[in-house]
Structure 1
Amino acid sequence: MASFQQQGIICAISGCLDQQAVISLWNDRHCLLDVDTAFLQLSDIEYCDSAGVAFLLELVSIFAAKGASLKLVSASEQLKKFIVLYDLNDFFIEEAQ
């Protein structure tokens, strides 16, 4: 299961973001993050499958629909494989400054 730790404008996600986690988080996706969140820090994600990647992009989409920007930063090594595989470099950046 994934956990979300809010630290100002950065929310750190840790744990497992797989299909089972996405199913349990889906109904709360609009209220998981503070409205002023600017960065999702992903370095502590231990495992992420395609459902997890889709969930992250859904969170970005929710913020975009509100006219806000949510950046995905510091992808874990395992998550970087999906970024390359699905050519998602435009959605992920290396570090939150």
Structure 2
Amino acid sequence: MATFTQQGIYCSVSGRLDQDAVLSLWNGRSSILDPDTAFLQLSGIEYCDSAGVAFLLELVSIFATKGATLKLISPSEQLKKFILLYDLNDFFIEEAK
């Protein structure tokens, strides 16, 4: 299961973000992050599958529809492999600038 820990404009995600986690998080996806969140820190993700990546991109989309930007930063090593495999570099930032 994934854990979201809010710290100001940063929110850290840790644990597993797989299909089971996404199913349990889906209904609350619009309110899982504070509206002021600007960065979603991903270095604590132990495992992420395609459902997890889709969920992260859904969170970005939710913020975009509200006129806000949510940046996905510091992907974990496991997530980096997924990003490279599916050419998702445009959606993820290595480190916060």
Taking the TM superposition and a 5 Å limit, the aligned residue runs for 1:13-92 are: 13-92=13-92
What is the alpha-carbon distance in structure 2 between the residues aligned to residue 86 and residue 63 of structure 1? 23
TM-score (norm 2): 0.98
Aligned-pair Cα RMSD in Å: 0.5
- Deviation for aligned residue 1:94: 1.1
Which runs of 5 or more structure 2 residues have no equivalent in the other structure?
none
What is the alpha-carbon distance in structure 1 between the residues aligned to residue 86 and residue 65 of structure 2? 23
TM-score (norm 1): 0.98
Percent of aligned pairs sharing the same letter: 79
Which runs of 5 or more structure 1 residues have no equivalent in the other structure?
none
Across the two proteins, how many residue pairs are aligned to each other?
97
What is the alpha-carbon distance in structure 2 between the residues aligned to residue 96 and residue 31 of structure 1? 23
What is the alpha-carbon distance in structure 2 between the residues aligned to residue 23 and residue 96 of structure 1? 29
Local SS of the residue matching 2:61: helix
Deviations 1:34-84 (A, max 9, x none): 000000000000000000000000000000000100000000000001100
Give the partner amino acid of 1:28: G
Report the structure, 1 or 2, having the larger helix content. 2
What is the alpha-carbon distance in structure 2 between the residues aligned to residue 82 and residue 62 of structure 1? 22
